[in-house]
Every structure is written in structure tokens, then in C-alpha cells.
Copies of this chain bind each other. A is one copy, B any other.
Amino acid sequence: MDRTDLLPILFNLFREYGYEGVSLSKISQATGLGKASLYHHFPNGKAEMLQAALAYSQQWFEENVLHVLYPNRSPLESGTISHQTSVQTPQGCQEQVKLRMQRLIVAIATVLTEQGLSANLAQQRAEEALIMIQGSLILARGLNKPALFQRILSNLPDTLCKP
């Protein structure tokens, strides 16, 4: 088994249960590997597993989101993980979250600007896009209504480009 196979499993675990909510026993069960084997792949233990899962999701985000918004433009040089500190604890996520939000907002604002919106309005709309996405995810999960998220997502393009 390769380390690459473990990353999506780790990512899903941390996303669903949170860092403290994921125990090595859970990871062992989810991956089918013994605890000792996990330490073979991640010598620094759980903290390193989180770090690897974050890097994995970051890469996914670059390829599947940012690269779609920036099809053949920016080489995404800042996409390589440059803000990674030694072995990350849960608090260490904050900076990565911030960076990812900022870059997504810039990407969306750029697209909106090319659609004819002013810089200020584009920025505001891009923030609004993230707000709607994040907020509808919370409501969809809280109310157990996935359709609510789908609806918001479908209306987003019109909402952002409108007046």
C-alpha cells in the first residue's frame, strides 16, 4: 500500500470528525493498516497525517478549482505549498484556510472583472459567492436538505453577474 492511497482516506476522516475526533484506531480501521504501519508512512504520527491530508486537499483544490478558473493563464506558481510549517497541529490550518479563501476570491473576482464588472464590485461579489457557498453548505447539512445547496449553486452565476 502506497502513501498516496492513504491521503483521501485521511482527508475524509479529518473532515468528518475533526482532528481530535479522529483516533489512530479509527484510522487503522478505515485504512486496514495497523497502527505501527501508519507510523511507517508518517513517522511524526497524527500531526503529520493531518499535514499530509491538508497538502492533498490543497493539491486537489489547485487542480480542480483554481486551475478551472485560470484555465491556461497563471502558472499557479504560488500553488506549491510554500506556507507549510514543519509538523502541523490543528491551529496550523488557519493560515492555509485563509490563503485558500483569498486565492479563490481573487480568482472569482478576476473572472467577474472580465465579465465587465468593476474591480470593487467584482471583489464584493466574489466574497458573496464564498459566503453563499459556505452558508448553504451549513444549512444543507443542518437541515438535511442537500437540494438547498444545489439550488444556491445553480443560481450563483446569475446572482454574481447580474446588475
Chain A residues near B (Cβ < 8 Å): 17-21, 90, 94, 97-98, 101-102, 127, 130-136, 138-139, 142-144, 148, 152
Contact = CB atoms under 8 A, between A and B. Distances in A.
A131 B143 CA distance: 12
A134 B139 CA distance: 8
A92 to B, nearest CB: 14
Given A131-B136, A132-B135, 10 more contacts: A19-B21, A20-B21, A98-B144, A101-B139, A127-B139, A131-B138, A131-B152, A134-B134, A134-B139, A135-B138
Contacts of A97: 142
Contacts of A131: 131-132, 135-136, 138-139, 152
Interface of A, helix, strand, loop or mixed by DSSP: helix
29 contacts: A18-B18, A19-B21, A20-B20, A20-B21, A21-B90, A97-B142, A98-B142, A98-B143, A98-B144, A101-B139, A101-B142, A101-B143, A102-B143, A127-B139, A127-B148, A130-B135, A131-B131, A131-B132, A131-B138, A131-B139, A131-B152, A132-B132, A132-B135, A133-B135, A134-B134, A134-B135, A134-B138, A134-B139, A135-B135
A97 B102 CA distance: 29
Q: Which 8 A-B pairs have the closest CB atoms?
A: A135-B135, A131-B135, A20-B20, A134-B135, A20-B21, A134-B138, A97-B142, A101-B142
A40 to B, nearest CB: 26
